[in-house]
Each structure stands twice: as structure tokens, then as C-alpha cells.
Structure 1
Amino acid sequence: MINRRLFLGGASIAAATPLLGTVGCAGQTQTASTVNNAANAGALPVSVTNNSGRYGDDEVLLYIVGTDLTTDQHCWVDSNGTPHPVSVDDNTDDGYTDYSIPLGALPADMTLPYMSGRIYLATGGKLGIRIVEDGNGNPALQLPAGWVEEDDSFDILHDTVEFTHNEDGMFCNTSMVDQFSVPLGIRLTGDDDQSTGFLLPGGRDAIFETLAADPVFSSLVFEDRIIAPGHGLNSGIFPTDYFDPYIDQVWSHYAGTDLSVTTNAGTFTGRVEGDELLFDGGVSPIAKPSTRDVLFCDGALAAPNDGITGPVAAIVGAALNRSTLLDSAEQPTNDPAQFYLNEIANHYAAVFHEHTEDGKAYGFAFDDVEDFASYVQDHGASGLEITLTPF
């Protein structure tokens, strides 16, 4: 299954820190047609509705950037739905590109080509997207870092829809993995009719208020933006040892108890020996993770796309974030009522799940374990609708 950890495949995207649609008047959707099908392979109709209640269409900009799957080159998409390879010569706007598409000026036949990347929706100004040369001298996207105060795009509220659109279908999600400011929902139609990412009424305010009241996570809340705890750790505003006591308890517990992890490849049994969690069945040893590893789902918890170690590491990482490892020796667990109950847990992720209509969100990179991510896919997709929901 394609998931968030594979979305930005192909040529790697350079991140300074890390679409496409059609809209008319605020609150009114224009439905895309298939006019561009002949010009752009796989053209998928896309619409955007502005229900923000705070910003008019003239204050919202869209950016569609990523990897062109027909050429494996970084690209940007214009308002006709046509992908263009990026070039360092595009840096003409005070050292940045201007790939923006004004929300109020989109045509009714906007479509998305075959590509993998992100649809940015920015409010109140332009995002700082720069083209740089990668290690091989090829032009590469350097995307905004909305979680870094020094980044030129920090004061521009923005969020993204991540996607892969190819011959197999459309795979997309909303994400809070890096930061949260602009509430977004998506609807994907085709073989099915699926929606996700939509907040409950008053959800955005509730998210800010809940985290602002938390003695640890309140440091992540800025005036109109919340940054993810991993990035807060990098900025020195979130404790680097936050998860350490819980990890110590887990490692101590499973030194004398079997941990059972079930994946599509079977069930694997593990025990802690020294600083490693050792499983049978060919799973690579999982070293004792750090708080950073848990929050970024990386390092000791890196999940290679090998079908064996990767799924096991993802399940262990999700259980650490959700604080379920001490409660159940059989993983993964799938009862959301049992998630995030420990004092030490990823309460940043928890609050998004609590305030979404379907209980799903992408609060950390392994949030897709047991399908709790705000992710939808369709092998016969006929349209994507993106909605800026009320602030």
C-alpha cells in the first residue's frame, strides 16, 4: 500500500524545512471537467472550496509541486494542469520562484497530472519556494519550513494535501506531521466516495486551546500555528527526553515478556536483550529508540520498504506514540479509546484525532498503522475536492 512515507518518491525533494484545484467565490465550488485529459496524461479533475470564513479567494494561493512521474523530474503545475520541470532560472521573485495559482482565478477545468507531491494552500502571502541544485547538479525543489521561525514562509499560514497520482489511482492525505495552521478536508470520488480531514465544529479552536493548556506541549503553540513536537525538539522548545521514561519502562517490561507483532507477512515474536528488541522471522534488531526517533519515526524506528522489518518497526513506533505498548503485548492495537492514555504520549497527534469527524489524522509518520491516518485512495478516481474548512 502506498502511504505517506512513500508519497514524495522519485527524485528527492530538498527541504529548507519541507495542487491543484479550482475555485470560484468563497464558499462555492467549481467542479472540474476533463478538458485537459488529452494534454496531460491521467488528468484528474480537482476542485477547491473556500469555507475558511477568514480569508477571501484573493488572499489564498495554491501551489502544486512535486515529482513528474513520467520524467522523474521535480516539477510545478500551472493553472491548466500542465507540469513543468523546475529550473534555477525560476528564482526570479527576490530569490524565490512564483509558482502560485490565485484561488479566485482558477479555471473550471483544472486537473492534476500523473505526479507525486504536495498541494499547498497558503493564506495572506506567497510561500518561499526556491530551486536549488541537488548533489548531482539537477534542479530540485527547496520547500518551505513552516515550523522554523527564521524561515521566510513562517508568517504565511499554509498547509498541504500530499498525494501520489499514477496509473494505479489516486492516493492522498492531509497532514499535521510537520505543523498545523490551515484546516483542510479532502473528498475523493471514483469507485468510492470518501472524505477525511474534516474537523468537528469548533475543532480548530479546540485544538489550539487543548495544546495551549498542556504544560509540555504548550511550547509548540504559536499565535496561529502549532508545530510538531519533533520540530519543537530541534528548535529547543520541546524536551529531548520526553519519551525516555516510557521507553525505559517498555524496554524493561519486554526483557521478561514476549512482544507479538502481526503484519501482512505474519506474526513475529520479540524480546529485549540489552539495548535491542530482537524478533524472530528475519526482522532486523530494533535498537532502543530515543525521543527523537519516536517523534520522527526514524533512526532506530526507521521502516525500510522490505515487507518484514519495515512494518514491524512502524507498528512499534505507532505503539510508542500512542502509548499502548505497556497495555498490550499483542500489537498493533486498533481501539482508539485506548490510545494516548499514558501521561507520556504524543498528545499533539491525539488532539487532532479527537477533533476530526472520522477520528483520523496524520499526527505522526506512522499514524497510518491500523488505518488511523487522514488518508484515502481510489483505483478508479474521478475527482478530488479540497476544502478550506472554517477557522
Structure 2
Amino acid sequence: MISRRSLLGGLAAGAATASGIALAGRATGATAPAGGTAAAGMPLHLVNNTGAYANSSVWVYIVGNDGTQQVRVTPDGELKPVALGDNGPDGFTDYAVPLAASGTTTLQLPRMSGRIYTALGSKLKFKAVKDGNGKPALAYPAGWVAGDPNYDVLHDCAEFTYNDGGMYCNTTMVDMFSVPLAIRLTGARDQTTGTLKDGARARIFSDVKGAEGFDRLVIGDKRVIAPGHGLDSGLFAKDYFAPAVDEAWSAYAGKDLTVTTDAGTFTGRVSGDRLTFTGPGTVSFAKPSTRDVLFCDGNLAAPNDGTTGPVAAVLGAALNRSTLAAQARQPTTDPAAFYRQRLTNHYARAMHAATRDGKAYGFAFDDVAGFASYIEDGAPKEITLTLTPF
């Protein structure tokens, strides 16, 4: 399985604006000459079942990286590189793909890594900028930043990598939740993920607003911001997880913690401030901050090294799901044990409770033990992105 972290190869900071991020996707093997090429790929079907917005009020943006440069897909199904000259008089590009007047919209999805953004009621503003190497890049929407030009636009996205190995895709709530989206991928199998239960969008807003310390993450009826971004915006407590981290570190000062990954089983004990594991390799972690837990970064950063990275992912998942102190064998695989403590990631809890299959991408390590809204197929034939009922 390709994790969300390797799916896109990482999201790099936008070069010229603080309001967006530029996609630096993983190499896919596809190329796009400067003039653009016809997108040879699989059919992408776009279905508007919101019940709240007509097709004429919905726009789609397919943006990402072809392995050599940042690209976008035109309404005609052409793969074109991002260009600074695409910015219009207002300073922003117009990469919108309109939906058909009625029914399903179908276009060809080329081999690339990227995101499929949906915007409802108003178009999104993507700005072409220079990245750190002077190459054209995009400043992406950042709906969790009050000063972002897209803050007032109802929007959301799904993520994908389509390459020689197949299609790897997910619906994501790692940054925020706004528009209910579902993906159906057909090929060697017929798979669907991301579908919400009836009326679940409203329940997500209500559940997060009712959770102690999470209420300010709900922005009207527009979106719910992930707590990590809320922390950076002053909407979420910087020390929220501190007691839970202290409890776990105290628990494993006197007993072993075992973490099993593809590399084998690691055995850990706390000494001083550090939780140190031995086994297939020696890895060690200082106490993570609340921000580290929410972003699965900092002291819980997960390098793609086969040892530290997987252990960090399991620890990050256990802290978000509030199972670390109580379960000395990780990862915990029974979802009935997740989110049972007062200090838990109630944002992620609400997302999982809302989906029909119980899977969601509520934080970056939600793929641990297979609970992410993620599907893949090595022989894909077509993909459908549905904007499901509000």
C-alpha cells in the first residue's frame, strides 16, 4: 500500500504566497512537453449529486505534477505545464474545468500525481508562482487560512497518483472537511471509498463543534478545519495532547511497548525524555508536542527509511486515536478501541463516524492498520469522483 505521505511525495511550501502550498508530487514516469500533450489515460467521471448546487455552479481543477514539472488538465483533456503567463489581470489563473450542462462529465485523466479540487458556488483562485528553484508552480488554496483568497469559497479535494503501477487515490480530510466526496475505482476490482452516511455532513459539523476544545474549528457551514491548522491559527490549544503524551511516556518507563511494522517487531522503553526502540533497527523519539502529534511531524516525523518512519507512523496513529498508553502492543487494529479517551482527536473521530465504510483520512497517519479512505488498483479502467448529497 502507498501511504498518503508517499502518494504525493510531499507538499512543499508555496514560493510566493503564505496562503497556499505548491504540489511537489512523486515522479510518475509521465512527461508533458512545453506545448502540452493529449492526455492519454483513463476516463474520469465527475458526478454532481450534491442536491444543493447545479452543474453550472460547480467547477473542477485537476492539478499536480507529472514527474518533471507542475501541470494541470484542461477542459479538453490536455495535459499542460503550469505557466506564469497563465495568471490573468486579477493575478490568478483560470484552470477551471466546468461540468457538463447536466448529467455526468467525463474527461481523460493523464498519468500524473495530484489533486482533483471541486469548487461550489464560486471559482477557485490558483496563482502561478516561482518555486524555490525558479520553476513555475502553483499556490494552492488554503481554506484554513482566513486571509487566503479562497477562504470564502466552498471547496474540497481528492488526491491521486496514476502511474505505470496503477491508480492510488484517496479522499482527504487531513487539512479540512467541507464537500462530501466519494471515489469509485474500477479495474481488477470495483472499489468505493469516502461515501458519507445520510445526513453525515451536518453531523460532522455538530460533532466537532460539540467536542471540548474543538468548537472553534467549525467555520460556519463552510468547513471544519483540521486541529493542526487550527493550532497554527490560534483556534486550538497548543498543549492539548500534552497530558496524553506524558501518560504514555510514564507508562513505558516501567514496561515494554512493542511496535510491529513490515520490518519486524520493535521493543521500546522510555528513559528520560526519550522512547527508544531496539529490534530490526534502533530508533528513538523525544516527547512529541501537540503539533507533532497532529501533523505527524517534528519528533514524530516519518522518513521513508523502512525503520524510523513506520514506527513513527504507528506512534502518531496511536496518539491521535488515544490507544498508546493503554495498548502495549501497537498498532491497535480494533476500531472499537479508537477515540475512547477524552483527550483524543475528536476531529478524526467525527470523520470516521460519518463514513459508510468507517474509513477516513482524518490525520496523516490514518493509513496505519488500513483505516484511511484510500483505494488502489494495479489495472485501473476508470475512476468516478462523486460530490455526494449535503
Q: TM-score, normalised by structure 2?
A: 0.92
- Counterpart of 2:76, as a letter, is N
The answer to whether structure 1 residue 201 and structure 2 residue 204 are counterparts is: no
Map Cα deviations across residues 64-106 of structure 1 (whole Å, 9 max, x no partner): 000013xx10001112322111111111151111000111269
- Counterpart of 1:385, as a letter, is T
CA contact (8 A) 2:166 2:378 kept: yes
Equivalent positions of 1:102-113 (< 5 A) are 102-104=98-100, 109-113=106-110
CA contact (8 A) 1:361 1:372 kept: yes
- Counterpart of 1:380, as a letter, is A
The change in CA–CA distance for 1:75 and 1:170 in structure 2 (over 3 A counts) is same
The change in CA–CA distance for 1:103 and 1:109 in structure 2 (over 3 A counts) is closer
The answer to whether structure 1 residue 82 and structure 2 residue 78 are counterparts is: yes
Give the stretch that moved more between structures: 92-101 or 345-354.
92-101
- Counterpart of 2:79, as a letter, is P
Map Cα deviations across residues 96-117 of structure 1 (whole Å, 9 max, x no partner): 1100011126996511111001
Give 1:12 shift.
4.5
Tell me the SS of whatever aligns to 1:362.
coil
Tell me the SS of whatever aligns to 2:173.
coil
Please name the residue that 2:328 is paired with.
329
Structure 2: runs of 5 or more not aligned: 22-36
Please name the residue that 1:29 is paired with.
none
In structure 1, distance between residues paired with 2:86 and 2:13: 16
In structure 2, distance between residues paired with 1:324 and 1:297: 16
Please name the residue that 1:96 is paired with.
92
The change in CA–CA distance for 1:138 and 1:362 in structure 2 (over 3 A counts) is same
Please name the residue that 2:53 is paired with.
55
Please name the residue that 1:8 is paired with.
8
- Counterpart of 1:98, as a letter, is D
Tell me the SS of whatever aligns to 1:351.
helix
In structure 2, distance between residues paired with 1:262 and 1:81: 44
The answer to whether structure 1 residue 271 and structure 2 residue 269 are counterparts is: yes
CA contact (8 A) 1:13 1:141 kept: no
Please name the residue that 1:243 is paired with.
241
Aligned length: 369
In structure 2, distance between residues paired with 1:84 and 1:270: 49
- Counterpart of 1:86, as a letter, is V
The answer to whether structure 1 residue 156 and structure 2 residue 153 are counterparts is: yes
Equivalent positions of 1:1-391 (< 5 A) are 1-9=1-9, 12=12, 14=14, 16-18=19-21, 39-41=38-40, 43-69=41-67, 72-104=68-100, 109-224=106-221, 225-281=223-279, 282-391=281-390
Tell me the SS of whatever aligns to 2:368.
coil
In structure 1, distance between residues paired with 2:54 and 2:129: 32
- Counterpart of 2:72, as a letter, is W
CA contact (8 A) 1:303 1:311 kept: yes
Please name the residue that 2:34 is paired with.
none
Give the stretch that moved more between structures: 289-298 or 101-110.
101-110
Q: TM-score, normalised by structure 1?
A: 0.91
Give 1:10 shift.
8.1
Cα RMSD, aligned residues only: 1.6
- Counterpart of 1:337, as a letter, is A
Tell me the SS of whatever aligns to 2:372.
coil
In structure 1, distance between residues paired with 2:114 and 2:282: 31
CA contact (8 A) 2:19 2:147 kept: no
In structure 2, distance between residues paired with 1:178 and 1:12: 14
Give 1:283 shift.
3.5
Map Cα deviations across residues 246-300 of structure 1 (whole Å, 9 max, x no partner): 0001111111111100001100001111111101132431111000000001001
In structure 2, distance between residues paired with 1:90 and 1:6: 29
In structure 2, distance between residues paired with 1:263 and 1:57: 45
Give 1:9 shift.
2.6
Structure 1 runs of 4+ aligned residues shifted over 6 Å read none
CA contact (8 A) 1:60 1:122 kept: yes
In structure 2, distance between residues paired with 1:355 and 1:76: 32
Please name the residue that 2:32 is paired with.
none
CA contact (8 A) 1:90 1:131 kept: yes
In structure 1, distance between residues paired with 2:232 and 2:354: 27
Structure 1: runs of 5 or more not aligned: 19-37
- Counterpart of 2:332, as a letter, is T
